[in-house]
Amino acid sequence: MTKQALIALTALWTCGVLAGCPGEPVPDDDWETKTIEAADQPEGDVEAGRDYLLMGDYSRCGPPRRVHDEVLGLGRPEQLLPDRGEANAELPYNETASTIDGQDIVIGNCLTCHARVHDGEVVIGLGDINRDFTKDFAVLAQLMSFAAQGEEEEAVMDRWISRVLATAPFSRMRTIGVNPANNVAAVLFAHRDAETLAWSDEPLLEEPPLDPVPTDVPPWWGLYKKNMLYYVGSGIGDHAHHMSTASALCVDDVDVAADIYENFKDVRAYLSSLRAPAYPRPLDEDLVDQGRAIFEQTCARCHGTYGDDWTYPNYVVSLDTVGTDPLLAEWSGASEDHLDWFNRSYYGSGSTEMVPNLGYVAPPLDGIWLTAPYLHNGSVPRLDQVLNSEARPTYWARSFASEDYLLDVPGWQHEELETGHAEIQNWSDRAPIYDTTWPGYGNQGHTFGDHLTDEERSAVIEYLKTL
Ligand code: HEC
Ligand code: HEC
C-alpha cells in the first residue's frame, strides 16, 4: 500500500470511530466535557511582569552580542518597541539583550512565538503563525559559531550551540506557520535531571518523535478566563510555573529556576491583564444581534458568553465529541514520562501536568477575528470554514504577509490546491503548502456549525467579530 493510501485509510478510520465526519454532529446530550476548576494563582505586579517579559534575563544563554549583530543584524523600524532601554533599543521586539556571567548576549524572548506585526504594529499576545520552523536551525547556529572570536566568545557560543544542536532535529515542521514548542519542551525535559535540573548531553528519558506534532499558537488574551493552560488542558494549578518552563533552554539549576519563577509571578499577572484588540471596521448591528442569538443557543455551552457579565465554562471536550485531529491529544496522553518529569521537578511544586480529558479545550473566542488559521493545529485558514467543515481545503497555500489577512471574512486569503506534499520532492517547495493529510495536520471535526444555513453562519461570524 502506498503511504498516501495508508494516510487516507487512517483518516477514514478516524472519521468513523471519532464521529468527526462532516454533517454528523454528536447529539448534545452525549457531549463529553470536563470542567477544570480554578486554582489559586500567585499575586503579581502587571507592570513589573511586562518589563521582565520584554527585558528580563530569563533566557540564560545565547550568541554573543557582537556575533549576533554581525550575522543577524538589527531590527526593522516596525519591529522596534520604544520603551525597552538602551541595550534593546535597536533589537526587534522578540530579542532581548542580557548579561549572563559577565558576557553580553542576545536571545529570542517569548514574543518570538507570542507576538506579530499586524497592520504596522507589534501586537503582544498574538501568536506568530508566520514564523518558519521548516528550516534546520542547526545550520544557522553553526554558521554563527564560525563568527565567534577568542576563547570567551567561543565558550559563550558553545553553551548555546550545544542546546540548539540537541533541540534542532526535533523542531523541524512540514509547513511554515505551525509550531514545534511542545516537542522542544519534551527534548529539554528529557536532557535534565528532574531533581537538580542539571543538563545531561545524553537524554535521560526517551526523546519525542523527530516529526513534531504541529500546533498553532494560542493568543495570550484568553488567559484571564482560563483555569488551565495549553490546547489539551494539561497545564493545571499555578500557571506561573508552567509559563516559566518556556525559558528552560539553559536553566540548569534550581536556584536559577526559583529566581525566574519569582519574576514569572509578575509575568503571569501581566499575561492575565491582556485583552483582545477590538475589530477595527464597522459592523451590521442587526446581523450581530441575530448572530448572538444563534451563538448563545448553539455555541455558548462550550465557548461561554461575552460582554461585561461574561461566563466561561472551562471545558476540555473529549475527542469523540469535538472530532478534530486526535494526534496532539493522544501524544500528550501517551507522554507519561514527560508528565511525570514535570510533576517531580521543581516546576511541579504547586503545578501539575496531566491530560484531564483526552481531547481539547474549548477556547475563549476573544479576538477570534485576528487569530486565523484556526483549530489547535492551524489547519483551517478562514473562520467561515470552521463553521462549515465541508468547505475546508485539503491542500492550501497562503502568503505569510499581514496584508493578505482578510478582515471581513475573517481569515487568511489562500489558494486551494489539487495536490499536496506527495507530489513535491523538495522540502522547501513543500513548506508554504498546508497538507491536511499528514498525521497531526488534519482539518476534520468541530462540525457544530455544519447544520446552519449560509445566512445563519454570516450572522454568527458578524457576532464573532465583536468578541
Ligand atoms: C517556540 C515558540 C514559543 C516560545 C518561544 C514560547 N512559546 Fe508559549 N506557547 C507556544 C505554543 C506553540 C503554545 C501552545 C502549546 C499547546 O497548547 O500545546 C504555547 C502556549 C503558551 C501558553 C498557554 C496559553 C493558553 O492559552 O493555554 C502560555 C501562557 C505561554 N505559552 C507562555 C509563554 C512564555 C511566558 C514564554 C517565554 C518564557 C513562551 N510562552 C515562549 C510557543 C512558544
Ligand atoms: C461541544 C463543545 C463545542 C461546541 C458546541 C462548539 N465548539 Fe467551537 N470548539 C470546541 C473545541 C473543543 C475547540 C478546539 C478544537 C481544536 O482546536 O481541535 C473549538 C474551536 C473553535 C474555534 C477555533 C478556535 C481557535 O482559536 O482556533 C472556533 C472559531 C469555534 N470553536 C467556534 C464555535 C462556534 C461558532 C460554535 C457554534 C456554532 C462552536 N464553536 C460550538 C468546542 C465546541
- 400-416 pLDDT per residue, tens: 999 999 999 999 999 99
> Which has the closest alpha carbon to 226: 361, 372, 377, 373?
361
Residue type for position 330? E
- 248-304 pLDDT per residue, tens: 899 999 999 999 999 999 999 999 999 999 999 999 999 999 999 999 999 999 999
How far, in Å, is the centroid of ligand 1 from the Cα of 371? 15
Give the chain's length. Answer: 467
Q: How confident is the model at residue 26 (pLDDT cuts 50, 70, 90)?
A: low
Question: How much is the average pLDDT of 355-366?
Answer: 98
Cα 338 to its chain centre, rounded Å, is 19
- The protein residue whose alpha carbon is closest to atom 33 in ligand 1 is 243
Q: How confident is the model at residue 9 (pLDDT cuts 50, 70, 90)?
A: very low
Say how far apart CA 396 and CA 263 lie, in whole Å.
42
Question: What pLDDT was estimated at residue 10?
Answer: 45
Q: For ligand 2, what atom is nearest to the CA of residue 301?
A: 5
Question: How much is the average pLDDT of 44-51?
Answer: 98
- Is the distance from CB of 240 to CB of 260 less than 8 angstroms? no
**% the chain with pLDDT above 90:** 88
- Across the chain, what does the average pLDDT equal? 93
| 219 Cβ below 6 A of ligand 1 | no
Say how far apart CA 111 and CA 96 lie, in whole Å.
10
Q: Which of 327, 386, 466 to mutate to test the pocket of ligand 2 (most atoms within 8 A of CB)?
A: 386
- 423-463 pLDDT per residue, tens: 999 988 999 999 999 999 999 999 999 999 999 999 999 99
Q: For ligand 1, what atom is nearest to the CA of residue 59?
A: 38
> Which has the closest alpha carbon to 277: 96, 396, 407, 144?
407
Question: What pLDDT was estimated at residue 393?
Answer: 98
Calculated CA dihedral for residues 339, 213, 62, 76, nearest 10 degrees: -140
User: How many Å from the N-terminal Cα to the C-terminal Cα in the chain?
Assistant: 47
From residue 109, alpha-carbon distances to 36, 98, 142, 178 in Å are: 30, 11, 20, 18
- The protein residue whose alpha carbon is closest to atom 12 in ligand 2 is 362
Question: What pLDDT was estimated at residue 38?
Answer: 97
Comparison of pLDDT for 107 and 19, the residue scoring more: 107
**% the chain with pLDDT above 70:** 94
Question: Which listed ligand is nearest to 456 at the C-alpha?
Answer: 2
CA 391, 397, 399, 400 dihedral sign is positive
216 has pLDDT over 50: yes
Say how far apart CA 113 and CA 216 lie, in whole Å.
10
Per-residue cell: 151: 576563547
Burial of 350 (0-12, 13-18, 19+ CB in 10 A): middle
- The protein residue whose alpha carbon is closest to atom 14 in ligand 1 is 217
Question: What pLDDT was estimated at residue 6?
Answer: 44
327 has pLDDT over 70: yes
Per-residue cell: 240: 506561573
Cis before 203? omega within 30: no
Per-residue cell: 310: 461574561
Question: Which distant-in-sequence residues (6+ apart) come within 8 Å of 51 by Cβ?
Answer: none
315 has pLDDT over 50: yes
Question: Which distant-in-sequence residues (6+ apart) come within 8 Å of 171 by Cβ?
Answer: 133, 137, 180, 183, 184, 212
> Which has the closest alpha carbon to 129: 422, 460, 376?
376
Cα 280 to its chain centre, rounded Å, is 24
Question: What pLDDT was estimated at residue 29?
Answer: 78
Say how far apart CA 58 and CA 192 lie, in whole Å.
18
> Which has the closest alpha carbon to 182: 268, 113, 125, 263?
113
Half-sphere exposure of 170 (CA within 13 A, CB side): 19
Question: What pLDDT was estimated at residue 370?
Answer: 98
Q: For ligand 2, what atom is nearest to the CA of residue 316?
A: 12
- Is the distance from CB of 372 to CB of 383 less than 8 angstroms? yes
How far, in Å, is the centroid of ligand 1 from the Cα of 10? 30
Per-residue cell: 399: 502568503
Question: What pLDDT was estimated at residue 25?
Answer: 54
- 63-75 pLDDT per residue, tens: 999 999 999 999 9
- Is the distance from CB of 236 to CB of 356 less than 8 angstroms? yes
How far, in Å, is the centroid of ligand 1 from the Cα of 132? 16
27 has pLDDT over 90: no
- 102-135 pLDDT per residue, tens: 999 999 999 999 999 999 999 999 999 999 999 9
Q: Which of 216, 297, 317, 446 to mutate to test the pocket of ligand 2 (most atoms within 8 A of CB)?
A: 446
Question: Which distant-in-sequence residues (6+ apart) come within 8 Å of 309 by Cβ?
Answer: none
Question: How much is the average pLDDT of 382-387?
Answer: 98
15 has pLDDT over 50: no
How far, in Å, is the centroid of ligand 2 from the Cα of 66? 47
> Which has the closest alpha carbon to 432: 405, 396, 403?
396
Question: What pLDDT was estimated at residue 140?
Answer: 87
Per-residue cell: 342: 514535570
| 50 Cβ below 6 A of ligand 1 | no
Per-residue cell: 201: 548531553
- 130-167 pLDDT per residue, tens: 999 999 989 988 889 999 999 999 999 999 999 999 99
From residue 302, alpha-carbon distances to 241, 435, 446 in Å are: 27, 28, 12
Q: How confident is the model at residue 23 (pLDDT cuts 50, 70, 90)?
A: very low
Say how far apart CA 116 and CA 121 lie, in whole Å.
8
Question: Which listed ligand is nearest to 301 at the C-alpha?
Answer: 2
- Is the distance from CB of 238 to CB of 400 less than 8 angstroms? no
Q: For ligand 2, what atom is nearest to the CA of residue 373?
A: 27
